[in-house]
């Protein structure tokens, strides 16, 4: 798609997804279908730490058992300092993939599973995508967190594996933003993949309009395009 056409499409999408102030999100707002950690003390401590740091969690999470969760923009290791406590405060369980070799030590394996790490063998080409699809098709509650930028540095485009995973597993995509300007972890609107990736990706990009990462110079090109299109 020519860049001029892409920018025009992004401008039109801004009327479909207007940026509004999102409500505060707490663990009491989460429905019963959403994967939970089941903690009692941890959410209280995590919520207190977030409050001290001046951060808050906003938005809305539909009461669904499965989703591919996008964590963006990711430009610093410090992102986890705010993102992880926000998940613990919500008592929300978002799983991520980890090397299966890490699970050979029983005590460590137990800790990793509690955190939400899913063991995966990255040795075989294509195995990660298929293993992820299989996890969803087991039918158990699963929010799988992915970072489509694939790096904390600037990148010209996103990796699209997350999209095809959601499409093949027949689950929605839940974008989450980490905004250093507003000090918000922001849960955004669900996107249901249609199979037309050229039409669906701009709907995701547009939701990150105005989001400021820790290192703005590392913002990925698709998100830079969204901000430039609005001016």
pLDDT tier for residue 52 given thresholds of 50, 70 and 90? very high
pLDDT of residue 7: 37
> In terms of pLDDT, which residue wins out, 195 or 228?
195
φ and ψ of 209, to 5 deg: -60, 130
pLDDT in tens, 72-119: 999 998 998 899 899 999 999 988 776 666 667 677 667 667 666 766
Dihedral class, residue 196 (left if φ above 0, else alpha if ψ from -120 to 50, else beta) = beta
Percent of the chain with pLDDT over 70: 79
To which residue do tokens 């040795």 refer?
Answer: 123
Mean pLDDT of the chain: 84
Segment 179-199 shows an average pLDDT of: 96
- Residue 104's domain comprises 3-229
DSSP strand E in 26-172: where? Answer: 56-59, 66-72, 96-99, 117-120, 142-146
Q: Are 228 and 90 in contact (CB under 8 A)?
A: no
Distance (Å, rounded) from C-alpha 209 to C-alpha 180?
13
Provide the number of structural domains found in the chain.
Answer: 1
Q: Mean pLDDT check: name the lowest of 115-129, 170-184, 191-205.
A: 115-129
Residue 213 has pLDDT above 50, yes or no: yes
Q: Mean pLDDT check: name the lowest of 10-19, 46-55, 68-77.
A: 10-19
């Amino acid at each position: 798609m020519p860049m001029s056409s892409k920018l025009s499409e992004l401008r039109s999408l801004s009327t479909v997804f207007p940026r509004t102030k999102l409500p505060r999100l707490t663990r009491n707002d989460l429905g019963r279908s959403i994967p939970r950690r089941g903690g009692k003390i941890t959410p209280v401590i995590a919520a207190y730490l977030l409050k001290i740091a001046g951060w808050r969690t906003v938005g809305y999470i539909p009461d669904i058992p499965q989703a591919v969760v996008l964590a963006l923009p990711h430009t610093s290791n410090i992102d986890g300092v705010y993102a992880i406590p926000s998940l613990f405060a919500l008592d929300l369980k978002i799983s991520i993939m980890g090397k299966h070799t890490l699970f050979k030590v029983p005590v460590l394996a137990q800790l990793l599973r509690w955190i939400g790490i899913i063991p995966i063998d990255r040795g075989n080409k294509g195995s990660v995508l298929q293993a992820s699809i299989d996890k969803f098709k087991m039918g158990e509650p699963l929010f799988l967190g992915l970072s489509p930028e694939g790096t904390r540095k600037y990148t010209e485009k996103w990796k699209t594996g997350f999209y095809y995973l959601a499409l093949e597993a027949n689950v929605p995509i839940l974008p989450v933003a980490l905004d250093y300007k507003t000090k918000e972890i922001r849960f955004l609107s669900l996107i249901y993949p249609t199979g037309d990736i050229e039409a669906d990706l701009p709907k995701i990009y547009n939701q990150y309009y105005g989001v400021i990462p820790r290192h703005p110079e590392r913002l990925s090109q698709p998100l830079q395009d969204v901000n430039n299109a609005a001016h």
